[in-house]
Amino acid sequence: MEIEIISFGKISEFIKPQKLEISGITHTDDLKVYLESSFPKLSGMKYKLALNKQIVQQNCEIANHDTVAIMPPFSGG
Amino acid sequence: MSEKKIKNIFVAGPIDPAFIADSIAKHGSKTAIGGHSIFMGQVRRDEVDGKLVDAIAYTAYEELALEKMHQIREDIFEKYPLNCMHVYHSLGTVKAGQICLFVFTSSAHRKPAIDACSELVERLKAELPIWGKELFDNDTHQWKENI
């Protein structure tokens, strides 16, 4: 299936917005493993995912054409 | 489902002190209010390894931030007897010394306004997907992280 990846802050400097063809990945926990091996810089960092504009708090199922945002710690204000 | 009106909080560039003054003035007609509390965030010229912060460039996951802000707003209105609540946050470049955040709460008596304002600032710094990139005077940068 195909998902869309967007990223923010520091992470946007090494992961550009892109469409990702993934197979065998059904949940966000698997996706994290996949992302960290595809983008080694990510593995040492603190980050959160948002699936279709919802912050991922627990392992969530991913569907075709979902959008996943990769977000480093917030620093607003 | 209750009707949900998502308010925008984002302002392009710095928040003009005249805008803040005008916002205060507008409350003159709301005579049930007896106390206002205001917090303003200002970009600090920090020194990091001998380099000075010239400005902070803010970006956000806007849709998610506005959705989250809507929840925070509802929580705060539920918790405190407020007459008004206003929140503005900059996007884009804000120079050292300029205002990047404006939080304004009003209530009949002082305590709810003060407590709500303080809780709002804490929650929005922790929960809104906004990122600040500190731009130094030698053209390098570092990403801020809220503690």
Q: How many CA atoms lie within 13 A of A53 on its CB side?
A: 9
CATH of domain B15-143: 3.90.1170.40
Spell out which residues of chain A touch residue B130, defining contact as CB-CB under 8 Å.
74-77
* pLDDT at B127 (0 to 100): 96
Q: How many CB pairs under 8 A join A and B?
A: 69
What 3-state class would DSSP assign to B135? strand
Task: Tell me if A76 is assigned to some domain.
Answer: no
At B82-141, the pLDDT tens digits run: 999 999 999 999 999 999 999 999 999 999 999 999 999 999 999 999 999 999 999 999
Q: What letter does residue B76 receive in the DSSP assignment?
A: H
* pLDDT at B3 (0 to 100): 62
Is the per-residue pLDDT at B2 higher than 60?
no
For chain A, what is the HEC assignment?
Answer: CEEEEEECHHHHHCCCCEEEECCCCCEHHHHHHHHHHHCHHHHCCCCEEEECCEECCCCCECCCCCEEEEECCCCCC
Candidate from B61, B67, B101 with C-beta closest to A69 = B61
Task: Tell me if A53 is assigned to some domain.
Answer: yes
Task: Give the Å distances, CA to CA, from A34 to A3, A10, A28, A47, A65.
Answer: 13, 19, 10, 14, 17
Q: Would you place residue B40 in the very low, low, confident or very high pLDDT band (cuts 50, 70, 90)?
A: very high
Q: What is the pLDDT along chain A (77 residues), one digit of tens a residue?
A: 999 999 999 999 999 999 999 999 999 999 999 999 999 999 999 999 999 999 999 999 999 999 999 999 999 99
At B52-70, the pLDDT tens digits run: 999 999 999 999 999 999 9
Of A50, A11, A46, nearest in space to B64 by CA: A50
Q: Is residue B91 within 8 Å of B133, Cβ to Cβ?
A: no
Q: Would you place residue B1 in the very low, low, confident or very high pLDDT band (cuts 50, 70, 90)?
A: very low
Task: Tell me if A77 is assigned to some domain.
Answer: no
Q: Report pTM.
A: 0.94
At B69-91, the pLDDT tens digits run: 999 999 999 999 999 999 999 99
Å from B61 to nearest chain A CA? 7
Å from B98 to nearest chain A CA? 12
Q: Residue B59 belongs to what H/E stretch?
A: strand B51-60
* pLDDT at B4 (0 to 100): 74
CATH number of the structural domain spanning residue A63? 3.10.20.30
Structural domains counted in chain A: 1
B101 touches A at CB < 8 Å: yes
Spell out which residues of chain A touch residue B61, defining contact as CB-CB under 8 Å.
6, 8, 50, 53, 69, 71
